Amino acid sequence: MRICKGTSDKSGLVAVIFFLLGMGTLLPWNFFITAMNYFTDRLNNGTNSTQTDTYMFGNMSVLLAQLPLLLFTLLNSFLYQHIAEKMRIAGSMVFILLLFILTAILVKVKMDQDLFFSITMATIWFINMFGAVLQGSLFGLVGKLPPRFSSLFMSGQAVAGIFSGIAMLLSNIFETDSESSALGYFITPCVATLLTLCCYLVLPHLRFAQLHLESASTKTLKDRSANSCEIVKVKLHNCDNGFDDIDETETCKNMKELQEEPTEEKSTVPQVFKKIWVMALCVTCVFAVTLSVFPAVTINTKPSGLFEGKDNIFIPLCSFIVFNVMDWIGRSLTSRLQWPSKESRLFPFFVVFRVVFIPALMFCNVQPRSYLKVFFNHDMAYIIIMSLFAMTNGYFACLSMSYAPQLVRSKDAETAGALMTFFLALGLSLGAAFSFGLKIII
């Protein structure tokens, strides 16, 4: 007799919380990069005689975003067992909140241009440092729950991109000055981060979350035996393991048998990696392909056809909003469809096959260009390619992140989640590095 881990999330509150937590991990940084016009305008209009090169600002911001993301997701994979979960998650949220409050205040503070540049670079480093710890810890946390919660978490991340795209579109339509737009871009993440912090603090008090998170922790079953039989006396409707009714006496007997079993140690990081390496390489490949052209290459696409002469609408709508909406749809599909399976050889094949989108997007009307010809000139061709590109990104990224914890024991799910976050960050870094070369080829 299999034992269902807990009552179903009937109210949907745990699902909503993980969706908001997913949104909260990426929304701050998405809004930060949406304000790039504000940063470049402020650097160009500085009073210092030595003008800071805005091209250098763009390259430095990419470098100082990816380095801490990669470094601290790797450190989190090894050190998370030695630092309390609450300190890693809640602490990271608090520091991100403080950094955005500081950034919002600086919008109204006039200062030397070089000092502003230095403060901004430091802010980028620390936002991504704490963001890496936060994201890695939350992926480890969600790995302890049923797979559909991983899909919800990643769907929340995609929605964060939709909000920032809409904000950029509205700012361009109403021709808001960069300073006013930036203030809105920085205040919004403050509110969102505060909301996600509250959600995280509520999570341990929800019965469904308690059962799953405790069952995957290092506590022994003996520590929880006092209330184990009481828990399973509840009628288990819509349980994630597929059991509607469970015999109380048999379940309590099974709980006692499990209680007497010796507690196994958690596997080491290398041991966990041996079980999930295929999924780790898949998620690296997915994001390396995506970041190699989006947004570094696609942001230079010019409208031709439907949006000709409307550059201020085309990029926010057809690049950022279309990408993030289709990415969200791809991630949401995984809650109903998981194909190919985690054991199938077709899964890594389809992941690698996504590389065809790199030349496809490069052959769109990206300007300026020196070597390659334009094959897909019309806006509709670009929108169709971008839609398929984004949907497959969301679908395969989400499946990779969902499959990995299923390949290990429940007590190793957090380690698997933390490791997968490192390989996700590795894919982002490789993609960002490839983008420099691809822009030269065009």
pLDDT tens digits for 298-339?
Answer: 988 999 888 888 888 898 899 899 999 999 999 989 888 888
Write out the two tokens for 107. 């919008």
pLDDT band (50, 70, 90) for residue 278: very high
Q: Is 226 exposed, middle or buried (0-12, 13-18, 19+ CB in 10 A)?
A: exposed
Separation between Cα atoms, residue 318 and residue 198, nearest integer Å: 34
Average pLDDT of 152-173? Answer: 89
Separation between Cα atoms, residue 128 and residue 53, nearest integer Å: 23
Quote the radius of gyration of the chain (alpha carbons, Å): 23
Q: Check if the beta carbon of residue 276 is closer than 8 Å to that of residue 139.
A: no
Q: What share of the chain is helix, strand, coil (3-state, %, to 5)?
A: 75, 0, 25
Write out the two tokens for 263. 């507690």
Q: Which amino acid is at 431?
A: G
Write out the two tokens for 95. 């520091």
Q: What percentage of the chain carries pLDDT values higher than 70? A: 83
Q: Check if the beta carbon of residue 142 is closer than 8 Å to that of residue 17.
A: no
Average pLDDT of 30-35? Answer: 86
Bridge partners of 366, per DSSP, are: 301
Largest CA distance in the chain: 81
Q: How many CB atoms lie within 10 A of CB 396?
A: 27
Domains and CATH numbers, the chain: 9-218 (1.20.1250.20), 267-442 (1.20.1250)
pLDDT at 346 > cutoff 60 = yes
SS3 364: strand
Average pLDDT of 198-217? Answer: 79
Separation between Cα atoms, residue 417 and residue 279, nearest integer Å: 11
Please provide residue 364's backbone torsions phi and psi, each rounded to the nearest 5 degrees.
Answer: -80, 180
Write out the two tokens for 259. 């209680």
Q: Which of 204-208, 395-399, 419-423 has the lowest mean pLDDT?
A: 204-208
Separation between Cα atoms, residue 427 and residue 437, nearest integer Å: 16
Cα dihedral sign, 380-382-383-384: positive
Residue listed under structure tokens 């010019």 = 302
Separation between Cα atoms, residue 295 and residue 157, nearest integer Å: 17
Q: Within 13 A of 205's CA, how many CA atoms are on the CB side? A: 5
Separation between Cα atoms, residue 332 and residue 154, nearest integer Å: 8
Q: Within 13 A of 58's CA, how many CA atoms are on the CB side? A: 14
From 283, 311, 333, select the one nearest 379 (Cα to Cα).
311
Q: Is 290 exposed, middle or buried (0-12, 13-18, 19+ CB in 10 A)?
A: buried
Q: Check if the beta carbon of residue 301 is closer than 8 Å to that of residue 319.
A: yes
Indicate the angle between helix axes 113-142 and 147-173, nearest 10 degrees: 150
**Of residues 121 and 1, more confidently modeled:** 121
Q: Which amino acid is at 195?
A: L
Segment 212-264, tens digit of pLDDT? 776 555 443 444 444 444 444 443 444 444 444 444 444 444 444 444 445 56
Q: Within 13 A of 385's CA, how many CA atoms are on the CB side? A: 25
Q: Within 13 A of 140's CA, how many CA atoms are on the CB side? A: 29
- Give the range with max mean pLDDT: 44-48, 87-91, 241-245: 87-91
Average pLDDT of 373-383? Answer: 92
Provide the whole-model pTM: 0.78
Q: Check if the beta carbon of residue 178 is closer than 8 Å to that of residue 37.
A: yes
State the average pLDDT for the chain: 82
pLDDT at 7: 54
